[in-house]
């Protein structure tokens, strides 16, 4: 049976939804005025705040969430990223407006995504959960698998009150990464035609997988 060189095989797409493993931090990168407080690590989405904006008038400082613990296959290509943000409002559900929500990674959030995913003037009602980004949205940047699995990977956000002093809280944060996994054969790997067909069927669950010999030359 003739031997053939097996080209790269796309195993298909996948996604992981994770919660941050670190307590949120503030002031990195620099910018903004009003400070976030009551920083905590509680990702049960049970109504307990993980960050609080106390009766501020001005644009907030940056609030950073990172270290989401992603375990992405080594050969994967990152296709898109979603951010889940659950927040509540006090003072008769007064409005807060997003100023900036960007992906961030590297020491001191040295790299920020080009795009900021939010809708200006969003009316943040109690326990409203928003999903920002999407399965094919990289926020105008090109984070790699290495970037995503880093403990520094996450996002930063700034907010500001609308129409006077406001009291706001963040109650839950999550992030989903969408990826495609491609298996590339080494240049010296040659396989029988039968095994090549089996490898190609990995991405097609309707084709049963059988064992065949591999010929390495």
pLDDT tens profile 59-106: 788 889 999 999 998 888 999 999 988 776 554 345 666 778 899 999
With a cut of 70, say whether residue 216 has pLDDT above it: no
Asked whether residue 217 is domain-assigned, the answer is: no
Maximum mean pLDDT: which of 57-66, 116-125, 144-153: 144-153
Whole-angstrom Cα distance, residue 136 to residue 133? 8
Asked whether residue 48 is domain-assigned, the answer is: yes
pLDDT at 185: 55
> What's the pLDDT band for 194 if we cut at 50, 70, 90?
low
Decide: residue 194, CB within 10 A, 0-12 exposed, 13-18 middle, 19+ buried.
exposed
Residue that wins the pLDDT comparison between 199 and 80: 80
What's the number of domains the chain is made of?
A: 1
> What's the pLDDT band for 44 if we cut at 50, 70, 90?
low
Question: Do strands 154-161 and 166-183 pair parallel, antiparallel, or not at all (unpaired)?
Answer: unpaired
- Residue 3, both tokens: 């031997």
Q: 185 phi and psi, to 5 degrees?
A: -75, 145
Q: List Cα–Cα distances, 40 to 51, 65, 131, 193, in angstroms.
A: 7, 11, 22, 57
- Residue 55, both tokens: 């009766």
100 closest CA partner among 159, 167, 175: 159
pLDDT at 151: 95
Asked whether residue 18 is domain-assigned, the answer is: yes
Which domain range does residue 157 map to?
12-185
Asked whether residue 206 is domain-assigned, the answer is: no
Asked whether residue 193 is domain-assigned, the answer is: no
With a cut of 60, say whether residue 217 has pLDDT above it: no
pTM of the model: 0.74
pLDDT digits (tens, 9 = 90+) for 5-28: 445 555 567 899 998 999 888 888
Average pLDDT value over all residues in the chain: 74
Asked whether residue 89 is domain-assigned, the answer is: yes
The single-letter DSSP state of residue 150 is: S
Asked whether residue 161 is domain-assigned, the answer is: yes
pLDDT at 100: 84
Q: For the chain, what's the residue count?
A: 217
> What's the pLDDT band for 136 if we cut at 50, 70, 90?
very high
pLDDT at 79: 94
Provide, rounded to the nearest whole percent, the portion of the chain with pLDDT above 70: 61
Domain CATH code at residue 76: 2.60.120
């Amino acid at each position: 049976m003739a031997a053939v060189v097996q080209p790269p095989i796309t195993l298909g797409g996948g996604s992981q939804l994770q919660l941050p493993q670190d307590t949120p931090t503030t002031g990195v990168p620099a910018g903004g005025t009003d400070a976030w407080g009551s920083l905590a690590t509680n990702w049960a989405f049970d109504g307990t705040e993980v960050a609080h904006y106390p009766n501020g008038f001005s644009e907030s400082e940056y609030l950073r969430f990172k270290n989401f613990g992603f375990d992405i296959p080594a050969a994967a290509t990152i296709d898109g990223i979603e951010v889940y943000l659950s927040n509540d409002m006090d003072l008769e559900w007064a409005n807060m407006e997003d100023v900036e929500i960007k992906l961030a990674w590297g020491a001191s959030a040295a790299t920020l995504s080009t795009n900021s995913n939010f809708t200006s003037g969003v009316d943040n009602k109690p326990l409203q959960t928003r999903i920002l980004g999407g399965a094919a949205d990289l926020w105008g940047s090109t984070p790699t698998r290495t970037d995503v699995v880093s403990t520094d990977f996450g996002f930063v956000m700034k907010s500001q009150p609308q129409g006077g002093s406001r009291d706001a809280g963040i109650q839950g944060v999550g992030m989903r990464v969408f990826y495609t996994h491609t298996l590339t054969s080494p240049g010296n790997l040659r396989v029988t035609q039968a095994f090549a067909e089996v490898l190609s069927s990995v991405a097609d669950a309707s084709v049963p997988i059988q064992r065949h010999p591999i010929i390495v030359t």
